[in-house]
Structure 1
Amino acid sequence: MAWRDAKASKARLLLFMASIILGIAAVVSIQLFSQNLTDNIQRQSKSLMGADFLIDTDQLPSERAQAIIDSLKPDASEVNFVSMVAFPKNKGTKLVRVRGLQGDFPFYGNIDTQPVTAATSYQGLGGALVDATLMLQYNLTAGDSIKVGEITLPITGALNAIPGNNAVSSSVAPLVIIPYRLVADTELLQFGSRKEYQFYYKQPNTDLVALEVQLQPMLEAENADLDTHTSTSSRLGRRYDNVGSFLNLTAFIALLLGCVGIASSVNIYIKEKIKPIAILKCLGASRKQSFLIFLIQIAGIGILGGFIGTLIGIGLQELFPIVLKEFLPFDLTISITAQPIIMGILLGLVMSVLFALLPLLRTWYVSPLEVLRYSGESSKQSKKATYGVIVVVVLFLFAFSYWLLKDWLFAMAFIGGVFLTFGLLAGIATGTMKLVKNYFPKGASFTTRQSLLNLFRPNNQTIVLLVAIGLGTFLISTLYFTKDILLNKATLGQTAESANLITIDVQPAQVKEVINTFKAHDLEVLNNIPLVTMRMHSIKNELVSSIRTDTTAQIKDWLLNHEFRTTYRSTLTHSEEIVAGEWVGVQKLDDTVKISISENLAEDANVTLGDALIFNVQGVLMETVIGSIRKVDWTSLQPNFSIVFPKGVLEYAPQFNVLSTYTPTEESSAKLQRDLVTKFPNVSVIDLRQVFSVIEDILDKITWIINFMAFFSILTGIIVLIGSVRTSKYQRIKESVLLRTLGAKNKQILNITALEYLFLGILGSLLGVLLALLSSLLLAVFLFEEPFIPSLIPFLVFLPGISLLVLGIGLSNIREVLRSSPLEMLRRS
């Protein structure tokens, strides 16, 4: 019976199935991609690092640290730092990351260069490998020169890839590799220079876990760190796990939207089957048999939909390496595994049956007397059964969310957010129907009245259509609004008061000449900030070395080894606000040094006002107490500090300066940079215009990925929309035929249908945009703490576009009525 009835209703059942196919395809493709990513990271973990393990430190290793490093016999070493370089060929300058290498690094993987021989010949020739993209930008070829500090080197080749590098960091500071032995000649490593020393080891038979347990505490005590290829790949895996969880949730929303479509369509489908079910019961069919007939149908389309969705998902996962290639530090090898495929088929079955259970329960309570009734309504079903099904659905959704997120709190928040959004849309839809019903415009034209009546007639699709339209519009609009918030947050103020060019590592003897260089270019010095480097020696009278070994300490590890770059000044900046204590701008003689710290530092160090902190300032211990705590806007593109001293304390400590200015054009910025690099090779220049350009490019790529996933929700919403409209086709045909029989013209029927669907399209898309506007405003105020200026794209593109789409789908449903005579349609119905 299930098979026979399905053949007679195959068009509708295929539409039910289409509702979940895309959601399953999205989930399966992301699951396969995540699994492939994990496998590739584990398989290529050594190639990602280029060694079995390394020891790194951001200062010259101490005597004890050097003894540990030497005892393990490093096979290669490196020093890397950020610096300006110049290209004599075209007088170009650029901020780059310089890596000075010695030894046969990498031991796993390889340095990809053009020509290929440059990967090994640059050491012997004393040349440089320059990032390939950088060479294209400056029209450079092998054989041209590059000036690094005080030396000029030949460019041996273009660098495409090397272990330990990633595309995002290279877009900010492209990579230049030179022989280690030439680093000293550059004279770039001066006091205050940010640098990192790394020592690489090729020891494949070493027990890395035991090595880490034994050496990590000793190295941490010397401000050094041990990294193994397994721990590095684990961190990288967790980073991509977060991305995978987000993409999974986006896909899950598409699947949920499809399931809502199934629930609504099956509800109407079962309503139309009540009389046939009653006839079956008159002929002796049991409750169980009538229930199973339709359960088997839904289970069948669930399995088939899961299978088709899984096949599409297998094909889609081939796109992810292309979409995410900018964010992957390696080439991804795709393989097919069984688990996501089995999961996709089972997901199709379980989700279809679960969301169809509520309308299917009606078959259980159909009375044989329904044959004689005309209402089309069955007997009331059991509340206990209804609540039981709802509980099972909610528990399954929570379990599936927990499986995706691996955190029960996040899973609850996600499910709560989904239900809140669905509830708001459904509530507004219900409220709209009541408003139209209570305040019905009786004086309106016949077509207007009839189109509004359709919104709350029996078997109406108002709720499901508004949920489908609204949710899809909400998702895509939120992406655009959020992107605007992020871009506005990063946007540079284009005024003479806002610095957009910063010079760092300016030595005290160079400050006056750098200021004169600014003035020679008619530029004003906006900030001249002294920087003093120091480390924590003790926190609340407890030595940092003791805290490191205390497993109960509630202090974050990062600040125990961190080299703080602090400053001193008498006033606050516009990106700071005192939230506790009192700001001390000038130190009084014979008074305790009162410093100001940022909120995040106070939280991570578990300290508050009046607590004592002792710093090691270049070998001199300085006692301080916390006088104030500041709220710092770290996203402002200007130098911000965790620790600020008052004036009158650090003036004679070893220090260097950061100077900033505003350059009105890119040309004036380029001229200044060329002049600075020529006169002061050790000074690095950061052009914030370029930083913003990189941020915008990254945000564009991330937005593209999110839009790609949101596309599944939008397309699923369209399929649900088509399914919902087509499911009620026969009801619409009957109504339209009766109208034609009573004398209504084709134009009137067309206007009635057009007005109804135009109203649904405008209301649904407007609800989606307004909800997105509200959620984005809350994000801007409470999370980003930024003014919110919404994009006009959702209002100008999505709202009219989706409204017209809904209108087109609705009108396609009525074509058959308009082309046929009333008598012919009455015979069919």
Structure 2
Amino acid sequence: MKNQSTSKAGISWIFKMAWRDSKASGKRLLLFMASIILGIAAVVSIQSFSANLKDNIALQSKALMGADFLIDSDKPPTPKVQAIIDSLGGVDAKGVSFPSMAVFPRSGDTKLVSIQGIQGAYPFYGELETVPLNAAGTYQKTNGALVDATLMLQFGVNVGDSIKIGNSLFPITGSLVSAPGTGGVGASIAPPIWIPFKSIEETGLIQIGSRVGYDFYFVADEQQDLEELDRLVDPMLDVEGADLDTHLSTGQRLGRNYENFGKFLNLVAFIALLLGCVGIASSVHIYIKEKLSSVAVLKCLGATRKQSFFIYLIQIAGMGFVGGFLGVLTGLVLQQSFPLLLQGYLPFEVEISFAPQAVSVGLILGVLMSVLFALTPLLSTWFVSPLQVLRVQDDNGKNSLTSRFLVLLAIMLFVFGFAYWLLGRLNYALYFVLAILMVFAVLGGTAILFMRLVKRYFPNSWGFTARQSLLNLFRPNNQTAVLILAIGVGTFLISTLYFTKDVLLAKTSLEASEKAPNLILMDVQTEQKEHAENSIKSSGLEVLNNIPIITMRVQQIKERPVRELILDTTTTMNKWILHHEFRVTYRDELVSSETSLEGTWPVEKTPNGLIPISLAENVAQGAQVNLGDKLIFNVQGVLMETYVANIRTVDWARMQINFSILFPSGILESAPQFHVLTTNVPDTGTSASLQRQLVKQFPTVSIIDLRQVLSVIEGILNKISWVINFMAFFSILTGIIVLIGSVRTSKYQRIKESVLLRTLGAKSKQILRITALEYLYLGLLGSGIGLVLALVGSFLLAKFVFQTAFIPSWPPFVIVLPVITLLVLLIGLFNSKTVLQSPPLEVLRKEIN
């Protein structure tokens, strides 16, 4: 009983001492708690929004598809596919979709659109929102068209006007506000137009080479197991070149697309949190250093090393809990802005609700990371001797190497575990930890190297102010390493995002040259080719490319038929190769976006009468074939035996027409084919005029203006870049708070130095210059190293990931670097104001509080 009461009293005493000490000096750590709040807020806001997004997708998956499940194909159903459809009770609705040019007769304007021909009461779930409301139920009966609302505003058309699609003229019976599957980026390039299924044939738009999708929609019985249906029926449809999708699988796939972006943002937020924890470790180091004499006194009075250790551990844990709690509240408020940031890129409205998992993650992270990163300095209290009270020299105690190693190992395991939880892949988590270690090691190592170089090669010939500013960088209790780390990581993130965005835009940009095509005519039939060429030339433009295209499927790979490979569950061959309908061309040379890897092209001799072909590297890898391997293609019912004569790389990101498979000339000229023509138009006015002329002559031809596509891509990248920069801002802000906190925490040491200098005759202006120079060095060094790391990282991304030339953009050099440096300087001067205002007698009278 006595031991229990003593234990209880001991615990109570520890908490009382932790509370009393924190009231007296805990405010020194408040700024570092703010850095934890920012990191937690960033993680919680993204975690909470991701959870809400996932729940919304699960709840709205039927509305997103408009049915319980569908069967889709890029060709009319074969007898076997039709038999499967009949066995499922027949379709409840069906549709056909394809891109086409639409003409507004009143103005003559043209636009690439996505045609949806619908038969039946589709959608069965969700809402076909139109203006007027009754248009959704009457457009099929009145043979009208529902036109995208944004498109109508853009071209100034109203309900009651007409729109021409192919050879048919449709009255606009309503504007299409929202519909299943019509949101997102695709609608920005080709806005949707819904017309009756029965009118599709009259448009004359479905011809050889047309990119058509056939959809068959089903409403499931209540007892029907959709997952089991998918497992049984989908393999049978795969053999026939069709596919089955349930609303569950579609929702999961959509969720994964947004989840990947969320994971990346989480990592950016996690880096901000790591920065805050580095600040915690630094501040606790200085804080505990000042408390070691108090710890020694406690031990003289009978306190055990465990009790003195837990007094300060409880303080740090309490600070982490409060920081985590406030960070959670901030994150929950912050997530309200995410639907606005992603507006236009989500096919539905996200309803924000409470996410318990995100809240618990924030609270646990606040406590766990604060304690983990504070353990190394806290261990100093464990090794303090009671004799420290009697010692005049500054003896901080020595930590056990084993304990320090175990703490470092615990931190690394935690970071790795959290990264794995975010990414779901061990290798990705490992790469993330290695990248973080590399960036932190370079920044920290550079800071330490800089301090040692300054100390070793100290410029004794400099003036007093310049010398003293350099001395401050390696004085006791200096914050050089932690400040350079915080400033450098924030600069690294922001600059890398700028550089990478520009790399992506450069890959899609159009060359300002007469030889660079920026207008593409698709689906030009053979009998239309000559007339289309003449129309382009009559406008004073040059036909840059006339590319023949033939559609075909792989019939056999090596000695195995494709049907057999589809049914083989053990094969590691990429399935898309087996199901894909390839669009190929024939030519005897490689273009600028292609580089030969193996073999030669063109081929002079063909062995055994086989036809030589050139494969893109990704196709060769997916089909698991090498030079000399045999493939048989089905070209409109005709089998063609080929062998792999060349393997090449293709830069698919280039804004030009690329092909997976090339045939030599003299083989496919008589095969059913269509053509793609390209030209270069100097301005938007000429482009619009030519498009109106071509669509009037050739209603079935689709025209793509690459400049419009590029503007959409640029808008997407700018939007994504803005969101990522918004999250990277947390890293910069965390770094600033670490900077403020570092100055505040070492303020008392600074006061001693300042008043001693003033006692020795230094003026306030001199001390101000010393401070300004010191923070100028820190700002330039931290942001400069971060910028160099960003340059190296972006160069590696451009070369190995995007495989393109890297040309750095200017904003990081002329904006990010000077602004961050100036910010560091101003904050340093502002927080040093107290130092300059302290009278020298404070030190002489030992009245420093």
For the aligned pair, the TM-score class normalised by the smaller chain equals over 0.9
Task: Say yes or no: does 1:612 pair with 2:630.
Answer: yes
Contact 1:598 1:629 in 2 (8 A): yes
Aligned to 1:136: 153
Aligned to 1:40: 56
Aligned to 2:268: 250
Task: Say yes or no: does 1:371 pair with 2:393.
Answer: no
SS in 2 for 1:318: helix
Aligned to 2:111: 94
Q: Which moved more, 1:267-276 or 1:445-454?
A: 267-276
Offset from partner CA, 1:358-417 (integer Å, 9 cap, x none)? 000001111122223344332322111111111111111111111111111111110111
CA distance in 2, matches of 1:406, 1:677: 49
Give 1:124-523 correspondences, 5 Å limit.
Answer: 124-205=141-222, 206-523=224-541
Q: Which moved more, 1:554-563 or 1:253-262?
A: 554-563
CA distance in 2, matches of 1:216, 1:278: 73
TM-score, structure 1 as length reference: 0.98
CA distance in 1, matches of 2:572, 2:462: 70
SS in 2 for 1:532: strand
Contact 1:478 1:776 in 2 (8 A): yes
Q: Which amino acid aligns with 2:479?
A: Q
SS in 2 for 1:105: coil
Contact 1:132 1:158 in 2 (8 A): yes
- How far off is 1:115 after superposition? 1.8
Offset from partner CA, 1:226-257 (integer Å, 9 cap, x none)? 11111111111222221121111111111100
CA distance in 2, matches of 1:798, 1:576: 37
Offset from partner CA, 1:677-703 (integer Å, 9 cap, x none)? 000001111111011111100001110
Q: Which moved more, 1:693-702 or 1:9-18?
A: 9-18
Task: Say yes or no: does 1:31 pair with 2:31.
Answer: no
SS in 1 for 2:344: helix
**Correspondent of 1:76 among 78, 84, 93:** 93
Aligned to 2:567: 549
Q: Which amino acid aligns with 1:495?
A: S
CA distance in 2, matches of 1:763, 1:812: 20
CA distance in 1, matches of 2:800, 2:74: 36
Task: Say yes or no: does 1:12 pair with 2:28.
Answer: yes
SS in 2 for 1:455: helix
Contact 2:606 2:612 in 1 (8 A): no
Aligned to 2:3: none
Contact 2:751 2:838 in 1 (8 A): no
Q: Which moved more, 1:27-36 or 1:193-202?
A: 27-36
- How far off is 1:765 after superposition? 0.9
Contact 2:100 2:113 in 1 (8 A): yes
- How far off is 1:470 after superposition? 0.5
**Correspondent of 1:718 among 715, 736, 756:** 736
Aligned to 1:781: 799
- How far off is 1:777 after superposition? 1.3
Q: Determine what percentage of the aligned residue pairs are the same residue.
A: 59
TM-score, structure 2 as length reference: 0.96
Q: Which amino acid aligns with 1:358?
A: T
Task: Say yes or no: does 1:734 pair with 2:752.
Answer: yes
**Correspondent of 2:773 among 752, 755, 778:** 755
Contact 2:29 2:283 in 1 (8 A): no
Q: Which moved more, 1:572-581 or 1:273-282?
A: 273-282
Give 1:682-721 correspondences, 5 Å limit.
Answer: 682-721=700-739
Q: Which amino acid aligns with 1:231?
A: S
Contact 1:54 1:226 in 2 (8 A): yes
Task: Say yes or no: does 1:114 pair with 2:141.
Answer: no
- How far off is 1:800 after superposition? 1.2
SS in 2 for 1:82: strand
- How far off is 1:586 after superposition? 6.9
**Correspondent of 2:695 among 668, 677, 681:** 677
Contiguous gaps of at least 5 residues in structure 1: none
Task: Say yes or no: does 1:595 pair with 2:621.
Answer: no
Aligned-CA RMSD value:
1.3
Aligned to 2:140: 123
Offset from partner CA, 1:236-281 (integer Å, 9 cap, x none)? 1222221121111111111100000000010011111111212222
Offset from partner CA, 1:202-222 (integer Å, 9 cap, x none)? 124222122222221221121
SS in 2 for 1:167: coil
CA distance in 1, matches of 2:750, 2:491: 26
Aligned to 1:22: 38
**Correspondent of 1:66 among 77, 82, 85:** 82
Contiguous gaps of at least 5 residues in structure 2: 1-16
CA distance in 1, matches of 2:202, 2:424: 52
CA separation of 1:151 and 1:159: change in aligned 2, threshold 3 A: same
Q: Which amino acid aligns with 1:771?
A: L
Task: Say yes or no: does 1:532 pair with 2:550.
Answer: yes
Offset from partner CA, 1:573-593 (integer Å, 9 cap, x none)? 111111101212678697321
- How far off is 1:552 after superposition? 1.6
Contact 1:587 1:647 in 2 (8 A): no
Contact 1:585 1:647 in 2 (8 A): no
Offset from partner CA, 1:452-482 (integer Å, 9 cap, x none)? 0000111110000000111111111111111
Offset from partner CA, 1:542-564 (integer Å, 9 cap, x none)? 11000011112121111111111
Q: Which amino acid aligns with 1:178?
A: I
- How far off is 1:442 after superposition? 0.6
Q: Which amino acid aligns with 1:102?
A: Q
Q: Which amino acid aligns with 1:477?
A: S
**Correspondent of 1:765 among 773, 780, 783:** 783
SS in 2 for 1:791: coil
Contact 1:569 1:585 in 2 (8 A): no
Aligned to 2:647: 629
Aligned to 1:3: 19
Offset from partner CA, 1:610-648 (integer Å, 9 cap, x none)? 111001100011111111111111111111111100011
Q: Which moved more, 1:240-249 or 1:372-381?
A: 372-381
**Correspondent of 2:811 among 778, 793, 797:** 793
CA distance in 1, matches of 2:844, 2:812: 43
CA distance in 2, matches of 1:175, 1:76: 18
SS in 1 for 2:347: coil
Contact 2:29 2:741 in 1 (8 A): no
Contact 1:448 1:755 in 2 (8 A): yes
SS in 2 for 1:658: strand
SS in 2 for 1:326: coil
CA distance in 2, matches of 1:374, 1:109: 78
- How far off is 1:825 after superposition? 5.6
Contact 1:17 1:301 in 2 (8 A): yes
